[in-house]
Every structure is written in C-alpha cells, then in structure tokens.
Structure 1
Amino acid sequence: MDVEEAHNKEKFRGKLYILSEDSAWQEAGIGHASVIGTGANRRLQFKDEDSGKVLHDRPVFASDVYQLQGEGERKTIIVWEDQEDQKDWALSFQDDEGSQAIYSLICHEPGPEEKRLLPPPKLTNLQDLARRIALVNPSQREQIAAEMGEAEFLAELRESFHSAEDLNSQKDLTNIFQIVKRIFLMSTHALTERYLAEDVYEDVLGMLENDDSLPLDKRIPHRQVMKEKVKFNDVVSFEDVETLKRIHLNYRLLYLKDIVLPRALDDGAFASLQQLIHKNLAAILEHLQKTDAVLTRLMEQVRQQDMQSLLFLEDACRLSRQIVPEQRQALYAKMASAGLFDALAVYFTGDWARGERNTTAGDEVGVRKPWEHPAQHHAVEVLLLHATFHPTHLRNWLTKEKNEDGRRVLRDLTHMMVNETDQGVQGQIAEILRSVLDPATLEHKEQDKRLEVFYEQGAMDDILSPLREKPPKAGSPPQVCFAQQLICEIVAFAVLKHGYRAKVYVIRHGLGQQVCRLLSAPQKYLQLAAVRVLRAIIGTKDEAYVRYVSKNNLLTLLLQSFEKCIMPPALGTNLMASATLELLEFIRQQNLKVLVETICKNHTPLLQRYASRMKPLELLLLKYQQNLEVEKYPPEQHASGGPIDGGGKSRSRRMRSPGRDDAAEDDSYFESLDDDEEPPPNGKEKSEGLPGLLGGYADEEKDADDSAQAEEGSEKQTEAGAKSLGHVSKRPRTVEPEEAEKTSQ
C-alpha cells in the first residue's frame, strides 16, 4: 500500500452507531466507510478494519435524508434514517476531511465523465474496453465490477453483440468474448449470478461461442445446446421459486465451469465458481431436507418405480458428498425416516436368490446375462452412498426383526454380487456388505444382535457359497473370478473384525481349505486373494487358528504354489512369491512354533534348496533349530547347553512352548502333530539341531566333578553342532581355576 492509499484509508476511518429502542446510540463497529457504484446503484458501505467484514451495506437515499453534524466548523458526524428498515444510523469519522468527502459523494454525485472508469460497451469502444478490463487496477476492481453489473452496461453490451452478429464482424465478436470472459474471471459472485440470470444467460452464452483460440469448426454452439439438448425434468414440484431458480442457476454454473471456460479459468476464478456452486447446492439440499412434503412425494414416486425419481434421488445422494458432513448426515437420516429403504426394496425382486437365469441359444449355461432392469444398479449406488458414509441406518433396516424385505434385499445383494456380469456393480455390493459387516460403529452389546443375522440366519452362507464350487479354470468368465476375489476380501475382513464368531465359522465350515483351493487357480489374483485370507487368519496369532492351519496342512498348499511360481521360466520375483515370503517372515518373527515346526519338518528340502537365494527361508530354518534347542535344553534348567540331571533321571517328555494351554485335549492335540519320540536306552536324549547355542552358564553350586563332566559333555555337543553349521559357537562359558590348571597340564 502506497502513502497516498494509506492516507485515504485513514481519512475514511470512523465508528458506526445505531440508535437502539431506548433512544441510546450503540456502537456497531470500527472501520472504514466508502461509497460504491454510480447513479441509482450507489451504496454506502462500512467494513470492519480488522476482519474486512461488511458491517453496513445499504443503498444511498435522497440527499435530504443525510445530515452533517459536528462542533463548530469540525463536521465529523453523518446521521440518517434508513427509509427501508426505519432505523437511525450515524457515522463518526476520525478526520473531518473524510466526513466531508463521503457526504459530498452521497449528496452531490460527480458528473458522468468524472465517475465512470469504463467506456460504454459500444462497437467503437469494444477494443478499448477489453484492454481496460484486462488491466484492472486492484484498487479499482470493486468499482469496475459495480459498473459492469449495471443494467445500462449490460443492455448496451447485448445490443452491441446483436449488431456484431448481424454484421458478422469477427473482430467485434472476439472483443466481446474477451470482455465477457474477463467478467467471469473477476470472481465476483454477484456479477457471475447477474450474467447467468434467466433473462440474459442465452445472450451471454452466445457471446462465449466466439472463442478465438479455437478454429471455427471446433466451437460449440452453446445456445443451441441449452435449447435443444438440455431438458429440465420436473420430477418433484418445488413450490419455492427461489429454490427452483437456484437449481437452474447451478446447472448453468456447472456448464460454464466444465464446458464453456475450462481452459480459461485460473485458480481464483475456478475456486469462486466452486464456492458459488456449493453454496447453491447446500441451499437446495437443505430445502429438500426441511420440506417433508417434497421428500415424502419423492419416496412415493420411487416406490412406484418411477425411473426419473430414482435418478433424482441418486443425484441428490451423490451431490450431498460436496456439502458439510453434518448437513449430509441430517439429510440421510431424514431420508431413512421417510422410508428410503422400503422404497428401494421394490427393485430387489429376489430373482437372484431363486437362481433364475437368462440364457439364449449358444450362450454358456449358468452365465447370467446383463441385468434386465438397470434401475437396480442405481438402487445399489444409493445404498452404497448411505453405507459408506453412515451405515447405521442401512444395517438397522437389514437386520431388523420381522423385516422380510430386509432379509430379501440382503439375500438378493449377495447373489447379485456372485452372478452380476457388471464388475462395477459387483464391487459396489461388496463394499456395501463390508460396510454393513463393520462393527466399528456399533456398541459392543449391539454387535451380537446385528451379526447374528449373518452367522446364524444364513446370510454368510449365501456370501461364501461360490467358494464351495470348483476353482475357476483358464476360460472361466471374468465376473465369476472377480466375485471369488471379492468373497476372499470379505472373509479376510470378517476374520480381522468379528473375533470368535468368525473363528467358529471358519473352523466349523472348513473355510480355510475352500479358500486354499484357489491356490491352484490359473489366475494369479485369485492365488493372491487366498494368500490374503491366510495372512489374516495367521495374523490373529490365535492358537485355535494356528492349530487349524497346521492340522489341515494349509501351508503345504501354499508352499506348493510358491514353488511353482518361482520355478523357471519364472524369475522368482513375482507378487505371489513376495506375499508368501512376507507370510513366512511374519511366522518367524512372531515365532509361531507350531507353524514353524510344521513348515520346516514337512518342507525341509524346499527350504534348503532356496535358502541361499531367499533370506526369509534361511532365517526360518535357523529359527526352527533354535526352537529345537530351547525345547530340548530349556535355559532355566540347563547350563552351557548341556543337560542338568537334577534327580539323576533324564527328561523324556517334550517341554511345551511358553503360552500353551494347559488343557489335556490341547496337549494331546499338539503331541499328535509330531512323531513319537522314545528316550535312548542310556537315559540320555540324542542331541539334535544346534545344541549349545542357547545354553546357560555353569551352576557354581555343583561339586567340581559333576561340573567338569557336565561342561565336558556340553563342549563336545557344542563343537559337534558348530561343525554342522561350519562355525564355532561363541557363547561364553564359566571356567573354574582348577579346571584351567588341569587343561594346561
């Protein structure tokens, strides 16, 4: 800000007062006064000096309404009565020079030549006018916008446009295009709304047809498009005229932003248009929410299977994503209470659940043709929008007691996900089911009640039924394969979120075996889907899941598929190999001993063959050897890796891993996983694996002979184990002075 501008700003600084009902002047704010506009459009504005908020914005009335008051020659107060709201106002200026200037602008308007910044939009002035608008001084921006919004300016601009069209003057038409384009780039909401108003928007769009940056054959006839191709369907009658005007204006704003000026809009103009669109949209949806008659009539028309009403409902739900979450949640709650889901239930007839199929001669038997009623796809999208934002309303309706429509819609959704040929709709339905199955938004006492519908009343059986069929072949339809992939994702989600319910269901129904059959499918993404399910099951680290995976050899199927994917001509670096190695690394890091033992016992050749190329396999073998040593020689009972006899008898039973359940059936189950081991005749166990690596220090309370014998046996075992690895154990050992002397001798 230069010195002169700062001086002028201080000159018009003052306080705004309003006369209260008890005839006392109350301060309304401190800021700066100004007079904007010209002629009959002049307005007296007062803005807050800190926030810039407009505290007062009223038309300028007749000059006899205003009075200039003060003490002596210092006239610093302007007092007037607003003729529209019948309120008394006063402006007290800091400088009498500012009060005199404002009073002069109010009562003695300057002449036409002095007040106008822009020449009139006549044919002779179009080029000069386009240049001046393109180079607007920021300090004059507000006044220029006010001049371009005047009725006289707009009328002369339209007249010049019609004259240029009649004369076919491309130069004038191009100048008019530049002028109108700059008007929208001014980013003034009032100006934008005025130039897209009902009475002038056709001429304005005609002015924007003459884009000189496009060849003539590429220019879009916007007026023709709006008249012939764009049709307004009055689905529900809006009695509020203002709301109807906002609907039409919002469409023209979207058309301007997306079709007319997408390349010309800068960031500021684009943001201004978006803000104006969102403001109008929020007002329209708020009117829809608060007008019960309109919403009730809309739901009734949707229930009567009126396609236009369903499309209107879909657009309303889709556009609601652009408003604030609180207003969107209120709209969805009002729709649900108005019977939204009951209205949508008529589009789900249960044909999928009954297994009806549309086939013609030459079609593959069992493959459903595209759905005959596209209205179902729109109904699915409405359900998806509600489920992803706030699934409580849809979940409560689907799982409500004695609600046959809810059960039917749920069954139809599951069967549609399996049989629908449109993969986009399949994905939408899977997302709906995942949102409804998510217990995160439920209280703990409500989870059992809601999930019972899925696990106890057969809904989950319908969802998982395709897994019981044969794995897809190379020529299987893509929608069948995609459905099985989506089902695997739902299974993995349920395992992670539903706790004991999912665990009981998976183990009871052998779901792991059914999923692992996909490992033999030729489609790699189905193999990866099966790996994700295994990863979710093992990732819970639940002992019941671990025993289930080990007992049914699920990892054997995984490693067989893993070996196939890394054998030539494969390079061994594909996604399937990476996912398998990540799962094995997780088992090793968490030291799930049952799984480590199962893998290393049953697949030692495979692991040793590729251990040199893949570090996780080498580390898994090492972890298995360490577990064997700890199990045979627990550190708390052995020193230096050698056995401590204790009562003179050797340990003949296997020590259970820490954290194992003490139940008798669990012991017998885990003992059955391994081969029976008989103790050697001499009462000592045969050394296996890497004895001595994890041994403890010698017990100093033992007598010298027993200690020497124990250490000598431990040392021999350690050296034997170290030679099998090709290195010597470096674990420290306590050596008594007597033993050191004997050794030196």
Structure 2
Amino acid sequence: MGAPEKTTTSNNNSMQRVKVYRLNDDGKWDDQGTGHVTIDYLERSEDLGLFVIDEEDNETLLVHRISSDDIYRKQEDTIISWRDSEYSSDLALSFQETTGCSYIWDHICNVQRNLHFNTLSNETYHGANSELRELPEVELSTLPSILKVVVDSSITDQLCVTELILHDQKFFRKLMDLFRVCEDLENYDGLHIIYKIVRGIILLNSPQIFEKIFSDELIMDIVGCLEYDPDVPHVHHRNFLKEHVVFKEAIPIKDPLALSKIHQTYRISYLKDVVLPRVLDEATFASMNSIIHSNNGMVVTLLKDDTTFIKELFARLKSPSTAPESKTNLVYFLQEFCNLSKSLQMVQQLRLFRDLVNEGIFDVIADIFQSQDKKLILTGTDILMLFVSQDPTLLRSYVSRQEGVSLIGLLIILP
C-alpha cells in the first residue's frame, strides 16, 4: 500500500496545513482536499476530535473522534494515518511542515493518555484508594496534605494525581495566589512546602502540565516558587530573569508566537540548567530538552517562512549604512538562527540553507572575514562550517563562480 503524496506548497500559515487522503477500494489514496487541522471538542460532547477545515471555502473536510485504541501511525515525519471505523476506510493527513505534524501527533498522544488516565482513575476511585477522588482544596492548612498526595503516591496513583491536577482548571492559579500571600507574609514554612509541591508536580513529567506551568501566565510564579528550596540559600531567580537577562532583537520579530517560544525556551533552559539540575530525574530532564528542541524548530519554521523577515535581515547585513554594532548583533543572530536550524528535519534544513545562499549569505561571510574583530571572524567561520558540514556543494558552487574568488582568497589569508 503506497503512501499519500507530501504537501509541498509554501504558505506562511503552514504549521498545521494538511491534505486529507482516503484509501479507495483499489488501494490508492484519493485527495479529499487541503485545509488546516485543529484538535477541539466535538459538538455536544466532552470528547476531543480532529477537525480539518477547507482553506478556500471553510467547509469541514474531516471530523474524527480521537480514539484511545492504538490505531494511529506516523510516517516520514509528515504523515499521520489511521483506520477509521466511522468511515470504514483508511484516512491520512499529509502535513506541509514536519513541525505541524509533530505538534498534532503530540496532541493526539496526550488525548489518548488522558483517555487511559480517565479509565485508570475510574478504576482507582472504585478501589481502595478512594482518597484520590479529588485533591484537597488549595489552602494554607491543606498544603501538607497536597504535598503528601503529590509526592507520596505510587506510580499508578501519580497518573490519577496528574489527571486531577489537570481537571481542576483553577488549581495552579489558586496555588500561585497562595504562594504570593506566603511571600508577602514571609511565611517560610508555607513557601518551603509550596516549593516541594511544585517540584513534585514537575517530576510527574506530564506534557500537559508542562504546557500549563511553562505558559507566559504562570512561568515566572513557578520560578518564584522554586526559589524557596529549604536545602539551599535563597537565590533571586526572578530578579535575574527580569532585570539582568536582556533580550536583544538584532531585527524586530513581529510574530507573537515566535517571540513567546523564544522567551519560553530560555526560561525552561534556565530552570533545567540553573534552578533544578540537582533534583531532575533523567526522564524529566529529557522531556524538558524535548520541549526546547520542539520550540527551536517552531521558531526557525516561523521565521524562515516569513520572507519579509529574511529579506530585511539580509538587507541590513549587506547595507553599508548599518552601524558596526548593529551589524555585529545581526551576525550573532544569523549564527544562532543557523544553529537552531539543526532542530529541523534534514530536508527542511537543506532547503533553508539553499534559501540563505540565494539571499547572499556567502557574500555576508566574505564581508565578515574582512573585519578587524577576531570574535566576529570566528562567528563567520562557524556559520561557514555549518554549511560545509550540511551541504558542501553549496559552497563549491559559489566559489566556482567569479564572485566566489574573494571568499577563497580571504579563507587562505585568515590568521
């Protein structure tokens, strides 16, 4: 049985852009149309489903109730397929971007995990562990009870605890409100318990919980809670993140999602490497790295698809009127952008590098090599080595043309 064709058309809003395919009786995939896929609640139901809305006429191309059964398959990083009992046929979504495919795949897995948790929770509620029917109300007097539930539960009960935390939409808001009250009153006993609760919740290693606590709304309060480790001196992590970490925009990033992911990635990295390195287990450490990797891929995807952003970046790099300090920051940004491209799939990374060559990146590197700033020259060399390691034919093609002679000459005389 062959696979459906990949979607390749370019579009700035391509993250969840898909083609819908259905397998016909002849074993061939019929194209059902192109649209955008989301996961949302089905009408008059608490069940979640996949919705694909046609990009041209906004008609619904597909509605599929997500099943707890092991029916979904991910292929070639851009295709999700399954056997749909309601349609009595095989269906497939072919994504334009691998990042969009990973995003929807992760959400399907989370929905399935919740369905399994619900089944397990219902079984547990009717068993001996009836105390897990609900979490204690979030109050100062109940903090020890909440800590006991979060930290002292068995592995099976931890699944139920995770579900209960996610089910209570106000849990984190109440806990953060109580944290601020304890901090205002300098109630260190309460602050130490809240620290242990938040640490225990992080070690539950739930992707859905991470999605909540690493959000723009909660992340700084979570960092605040983790300042009150009773076993180490108090470190003012929030002050460092707010006052000493300066976000330099060498070129304005207008996409709010890209900006949000950039800030979130830095804060998660800070939590992982500075705040919690001695308490994280391997699984949670790996999960945080996975979020960082996914965010990096999303940021690069969003920026590379913004042709205005890329053209403005290279226009400033090439312009003789760009101030030296500004040009230096632009070069450092270009280096970081190229390094982040490692989060992309290989085919996408090669396509991006070819686009950057077409924009004149080798001309920019040649200009960098004429700088008196040795650190800047090393940065240009690092960018060049990335291209050589990924696709040396790009450089070979450039230097074979007349304009490439100067770059070769500069490479020869570099100190």
Instruction: Give the TM-score band, short-chain normalised.
Output: 0.5 to 0.7
Say if 1:116 and 1:299 are closer, same or farther in 2 by CA, change over 3 A.
farther
The answer as to 2:267 corresponding to 1:235 is no
What amino acid sits opposite 1:243 in the alignment?
Answer: A
Residue 202 of structure 1 contacts residue 223 of structure 1 at CA under 8 Å; is this kept in 2?
Answer: yes
**1:434-458 residue CA offsets vs partner (Å, 9 max, x unmatched):** xxxxxxxxxxxxxxxxxxxxxxxxx
Kindly indicate whether structure 1 or structure 2 has the higher relative contact order, using CA contacts under 8 Å at least 6 residues apart. 2
The answer as to 2:409 corresponding to 1:388 is no
Report the counterpart of residue 178 of structure 1 in structure 2.
196
Report the counterpart of residue 348 of structure 1 in structure 2.
369
The answer as to 2:137 corresponding to 1:120 is yes
* TM-superposed deviation, 1:243: 2.0
Report the counterpart of residue 156 of structure 1 in structure 2.
174
Report the counterpart of residue 289 of structure 2 in structure 1.
274
Q: Give, in whole Å, the separation in 2 of the partners of 1:295 and 1:208.
A: 39
Match of 1:133 among 150, 170, 179: 150
Counterparts of 1:79-98 in structure 2, within 5 Å, are: none
Q: Give, in whole Å, the separation in 2 of the partners of 1:341 and 1:210.
A: 50
Match of 1:409 among 407, 410, 414: 407
**1:203-260 residue CA offsets vs partner (Å, 9 max, x unmatched):** 111100011232x2xx421100111111112233333322222122111111111111
Residue 278 of structure 1 contacts residue 323 of structure 1 at CA under 8 Å; is this kept in 2?
Answer: no
* TM-superposed deviation, 1:267: 1.3
Counterparts of 1:253-268 in structure 2, within 5 Å, are: 253-268=268-283
* TM-superposed deviation, 1:42: 6.2
What amino acid sits opposite 2:134 in the alignment?
Answer: L
Q: Give, in whole Å, the separation in 2 of the partners of 1:225 and 1:393.
A: 42
Report the counterpart of residue 720 of structure 1 in structure 2.
none
Say if 1:382 and 1:160 are closer, same or farther in 2 by CA, change over 3 A.
same
What amino acid sits opposite 1:147 in the alignment?
Answer: L
Q: Give, in whole Å, the separation in 2 of the partners of 1:312 and 1:182.
A: 37
* TM-superposed deviation, 1:116: 4.6
**1:67-123 residue CA offsets vs partner (Å, 9 max, x unmatched):** xxxxxxxxxxxxxxxxxxxxxxxxxxxxxxxxxx99xx9xxxxxxx99853212211
Report the counterpart of residue 47 of structure 1 in structure 2.
67
Residue 123 of structure 1 contacts residue 160 of structure 1 at CA under 8 Å; is this kept in 2?
Answer: yes
Match of 1:226 among 241, 265, 284: 241
Residue 130 of structure 1 contacts residue 175 of structure 1 at CA under 8 Å; is this kept in 2?
Answer: yes
* TM-superposed deviation, 1:134: 1.0
**1:492-530 residue CA offsets vs partner (Å, 9 max, x unmatched):** xxxxxxxxxxxxxxxxxxxxxxxxxxxxxxxxxxxxxxx
* TM-superposed deviation, 1:46: 5.1
Q: Give, in whole Å, the separation in 1 of the partners of 2:383 and 2:313.
A: 14
Residue 258 of structure 2 contacts residue 303 of structure 2 at CA under 8 Å; is this kept in 1?
Answer: no
Q: Give, in whole Å, the separation in 2 of the partners of 1:138 and 1:213.
A: 26
The answer as to 2:331 corresponding to 1:310 is yes
Counterparts of 1:584-733 in structure 2, within 5 Å, are: none
Residue 174 of structure 1 contacts residue 211 of structure 1 at CA under 8 Å; is this kept in 2?
Answer: yes
Say if 1:412 and 1:199 are closer, same or farther in 2 by CA, change over 3 A.
same
Residue 302 of structure 1 contacts residue 344 of structure 1 at CA under 8 Å; is this kept in 2?
Answer: no
The answer as to 2:347 corresponding to 1:326 is yes
Residue 132 of structure 2 contacts residue 160 of structure 2 at CA under 8 Å; is this kept in 1?
Answer: no
What amino acid sits opposite 2:201 in the alignment?
Answer: I
The TM-score normalised by the length of structure 1 is 0.37
Sequence identity percentage: 26
Q: Give, in whole Å, the separation in 2 of the partners of 1:114 and 1:278.
A: 38
Say if 1:270 and 1:254 are closer, same or farther in 2 by CA, change over 3 A.
same
**1:665-702 residue CA offsets vs partner (Å, 9 max, x unmatched):** xxxxxxxxxxxxxxxxxxxxxxxxxxxxxxxxxxxxxx
* TM-superposed deviation, 1:52: 7.9
Report the counterpart of residue 378 of structure 2 in structure 1.
377
Match of 2:231 among 204, 208, 213: 213
Q: What's the secondary structure of 1:394's corresponding residue? A: helix
Q: Give, in whole Å, the separation in 2 of the partners of 1:166 and 1:48.
A: 45
5+ residue gaps, structure 1, are 1-19, 21-40, 56-100, 106-112, 352-370, 421-745
Report the counterpart of residue 251 of structure 1 in structure 2.
266
Report the counterpart of residue 204 of structure 1 in structure 2.
222
* TM-superposed deviation, 1:180: 0.8
Say if 1:52 and 1:327 are closer, same or farther in 2 by CA, change over 3 A.
closer
Match of 2:212 among 179, 182, 194: 194
What amino acid sits opposite 1:202 in the alignment?
Answer: M
Say if 1:117 and 1:225 are closer, same or farther in 2 by CA, change over 3 A.
same
Q: Give, in whole Å, the separation in 1 of the partners of 2:152 and 2:47.
A: 25
Counterparts of 1:507-518 in structure 2, within 5 Å, are: none
* TM-superposed deviation, 1:373: 5.0
Q: Give, in whole Å, the separation in 2 of the partners of 1:372 and 1:258.
A: 31
Q: Give, in whole Å, the separation in 2 of the partners of 1:131 and 1:42.
A: 31
Residue 332 of structure 1 contacts residue 386 of structure 1 at CA under 8 Å; is this kept in 2?
Answer: yes
Residue 149 of structure 2 contacts residue 161 of structure 2 at CA under 8 Å; is this kept in 1?
Answer: no
Say if 1:114 and 1:170 are closer, same or farther in 2 by CA, change over 3 A.
closer
What amino acid sits opposite 1:50 in the alignment?
Answer: D
| Structure number having the greater strand percentage | 2
Residue 120 of structure 1 contacts residue 156 of structure 1 at CA under 8 Å; is this kept in 2?
Answer: no
* TM-superposed deviation, 1:142: 4.4
* TM-superposed deviation, 1:137: 4.0
Q: What's the secondary structure of 2:250's corresponding residue? A: coil
Q: What's the secondary structure of 1:50's corresponding residue? A: coil
**1:21-68 residue CA offsets vs partner (Å, 9 max, x unmatched):** xxxxxxxxxxxxxxxxxxxx9656853433588x9xxxxxxxxxxxxx
Q: Give, in whole Å, the separation in 1 of the partners of 2:71 and 2:141.
A: 42
Q: Give, in whole Å, the separation in 2 of the partners of 1:164 and 1:220.
A: 17
Q: Give, in whole Å, the separation in 2 of the partners of 1:117 and 1:140.
A: 12
Q: What's the secondary structure of 1:47's corresponding residue? A: coil
Q: Give, in whole Å, the separation in 1 of the partners of 2:278 and 2:72.
A: 32
Q: What's the secondary structure of 1:160's corresponding residue? A: helix
Report the counterpart of residue 41 of structure 2 in structure 1.
none
Q: Give, in whole Å, the separation in 1 of the partners of 2:163 and 2:267.
A: 22
Task: Please tell me whether Structure 1 or Structure 2 has the larger radius of gyration of its CA atoms.
Answer: 1
Q: What's the secondary structure of 2:170's corresponding residue? A: helix
Residue 347 of structure 1 contacts residue 379 of structure 1 at CA under 8 Å; is this kept in 2?
Answer: yes
Q: Give, in whole Å, the separation in 2 of the partners of 1:225 and 1:116.
A: 40
**1:291-342 residue CA offsets vs partner (Å, 9 max, x unmatched):** 2111111112222451221111101112223433222212211211121112
What amino acid sits opposite 1:267 in the alignment?
Answer: E
The answer as to 2:162 corresponding to 1:145 is yes
Report the counterpart of residue 550 of structure 1 in structure 2.
none
The TM-score normalised by the length of structure 2 is 0.65
Q: What's the secondary structure of 2:67's corresponding residue? A: strand
Counterparts of 1:451-490 in structure 2, within 5 Å, are: none
What amino acid sits opposite 2:265 in the alignment?
Answer: N
**1:458-500 residue CA offsets vs partner (Å, 9 max, x unmatched):** xxxxxxxxxxxxxxxxxxxxxxxxxxxxxxxxxxxxxxxxxxx
What amino acid sits opposite 1:152 in the alignment?
Answer: K
Residue 297 of structure 2 contacts residue 340 of structure 2 at CA under 8 Å; is this kept in 1?
Answer: no
